[in-house]
Structure 1
Amino acid sequence: MPYSLARLLTRLSFRQLQVFHAVCQHLSYSRAADELGLTQPAVSSQVRQLEHALGQPLFEYVGKQLYITAAGQQLEQAVISIFSDLKRLQMELAEIEGQVRGELRLAAVSTAQYVVPYLLQGFLEQFPQVDVRLEIVNRARATQRLTENRDDLVIMGMPPESNALRSTPFLTNVMIPVVRVDNPLLNSRSLDAQTFLDAKLLIREPGSGTRKALEQWCQQNRLSLNPHMELGSNAAIKHGVLAGLGVAVLPRLSVRAELKLGELACLDLEGFPLRRSWCTVHPAAKHPTPVMQAFLDYIQRAMGGLEQQVYGETL
């Protein structure tokens, strides 16, 4: 039988909740133990104590797979809320002291991974007591994380059109047509965009921001898009071009080193480069933490010099 609230408060500990949350994230006692620096029996013991205090099983095995129970799902939501409130309290107490301190949770689509370091370098110089947690995900996962309110901010191009989201552009994303340096297209005197698009185009999966930008441009210019091969990341596409599998349209930042080394070349095509914007995105109803607000304010202050810093020029 569950304890009363007064007795429950004497039986619970933040460590138990932390252990429980780690097991929820990994659905594995052993991986949770590795993350927390505990033994697997210690993790199991903490969960059993929590289950005994609540009078409900929190996990169950079906075969060899660990699943969270309905009671466990309810507790997980409560734990997320408790830890979020504690983080906010920590930040607000630091703000009272005139400091910005705490955790900044960021997610960035893979194309933005080349931009985020430039943002963080200057920000962390100003606010060295901030801890940053960064997840690199694809666009579909980034959109899902926005729906689940998993992060303080998501950095992406072409954010979903929704009144429930607030997006702020901060840097131009320049996308260019690239080929390997020995590609015959480089010797063509009358190369047009359709010929390039038909030359074994390597492209991202449906839903990718890079692909959506190219699809929109082709539609606006009445060009047909017939991909030769779909690959799951810009890095894979870049290496596909280097291997001679075909041609691609990629963010300039993602191929800057290969262009400089002479391994890839940018074609001079009418209509290119494509220009879109990277944006910070968060739920419109989200109340910014002090750290999140400090980061947003920093980006606004840094916007003027960011393109010069990232591209070496003002676009």
Structure 2
Amino acid sequence: MPTQTAVTLKQLRALQAVAELGTISAAADALGLTPPAVHNQLKILENTFEVPLLTRSGTGAFKPTLEGQILLSCNAKVQSALNHAVQDIDALRRGDAGLVTLGVVSTAKYFAPGIVARLRRTHPAITVRLIVGNRDEIISGLESESIDLSIMGRPPRQPDVEAYAIGPHPHVLVADPDSAIARADTVTVDDIFRETIILREPGSGTRILAMRILDQMGQGRTYSSIEMGSNETIK
């Protein structure tokens, strides 16, 4: 029983050329080989399957036997698969195809689908996988290379990445419209620290920035806070 590894592309191409051109010499010219080299490839192939793969027609030209036709059909599929592989690899090299995993922090998830849709319109062969998480989760994905691109408020110190600004990212204090602080004409640091501050969960970039600003404003003062795991919950 022949094995798949016993058959080579060179042997299949020799069989294809002889079947199409009818003679070993013509096949050798087409393949850029000598007639003995083509004959040797055919002999190895026939010995592998232990059946004749070519027979002579009434005109003396070679034609494939039934077994030869089966191998030629297989060769056509192999060549087609190889051609597709070459095209796919070229598309990957050009950046026109493949899988891109985009990781976004939760605050970016509102406009991330629009970016994905635009990419799909310009590069329809690219598959985009969207992952939403907090800052620590997205950075972890960049470190493990399970995420290719990310959108976040500030680029991380580690891992080393190329970062590009795509727009402003303002941060403001938000209060209940019926609260005293919202109705006040001016707001002092004391006013802010009398309120209960709603913070995101540990690992959130918004939390990191908010706590840094509050520490600077309060110079070490303590304050009442509540942790919530998403912007939707805070709203």
Q: TM-score, normalised by structure 2?
A: 0.55
Query: Which residue identity does 2:212 align to in structure 1?
Result: Q
Q: In 2, distance between residues paired with 1:232 and 1:7?
A: 55
Q: Which has the higher contact order (CA 8 A, sep 6+)?
A: 1
* Alignment partner of 1:171 is 2:147: no
* Corresponding residue pairs, total: 153
1:194–1:224 contact (8 Å) kept in structure 2:
no
**Distance change in 2, residues 1:194/1:161 (3 Å):** farther
8 A Cα contact 1:194 1:223, kept in partner: no
Tell me if the contact between 1:101 and 1:129 (Cα under 8 Å) persists in the aligned partners: yes
Structure 2 residue aligned with 1:133: 129
The partner residue of 2:206 within 204, 210, 213 is 210
1:227-250 CA-partner distances (Å, limit 9, x unpaired): 421111122112xxxxxxxxxxxx
Measure the CA separation in 2 of the matches of 1:136 and 1:200: 28
Look up the equivalent residue of 1:109 and give its one-letter code. V
Residue 235 of structure 1 is aligned with which of 215, 220, 232?
232
Residue equivalent to 1:152:
148
The reply to whether residue 196 of structure 1 matches residue 169 of structure 2 is no
Contact 1:203 1:231 in 2 (8 A): yes
Question: Which residue does the alignment assign to 1:118?
Answer: 114
The runs of 4+ residues in structure 1 deviating greater than 6 Å are none
Is the 1:107–1:155 contact (alpha carbons within 8 Å) kept by the matching residues of 2?
Answer: yes
State the AA in 1 paired with 2:144.
E
Secondary structure in 2 matching 1:203? strand
What TM-score, normalized by structure 1, do the two folds share? 0.42
CA deviation string 1:78-136 (max 9, x = no partner): xxxxxxxxxx977532267x782222211111111123123223333322332211011
Query: Which structure shows the bigger proportion of residues in strand conformation?
Result: 1
Gapped regions of structure 1 (runs ≥ 5): 1-5, 9-87, 239-315
% identical aligned pairs: 27
Report the RMSD for the aligned CA atoms in angstroms.
3.0
Please give the alpha-carbon distance, in whole angstroms, between the structure 2 residues aligned to 1:154 and 1:186.
35
Does the 8 Å CA contact 1:198/1:226 hold for their aligned counterparts? yes
Partner SS for 1:166: coil
Aligned partner of 1:308 in structure 2 is none
Contact 1:102 1:129 in 2 (8 A): yes
Please say if 1:100 is aligned against 2:82: no
Alpha-carbon separation, structure 2, partners of 1:155 and 1:194: 35
Paired residues of 1:200 and 1:229 also in contact (CA < 8 A): yes
**Alpha-carbon separation, structure 2, partners of 1:212 and 1:176:** 14
Amino acid at match of 2:184: S
Structure number with bigger Rg:
2
Instruction: Please say if residues 103 and 138 of structure 2, whose CA atoms lie closer than 8 Å, have aligned partners that are also in contact.
Output: yes
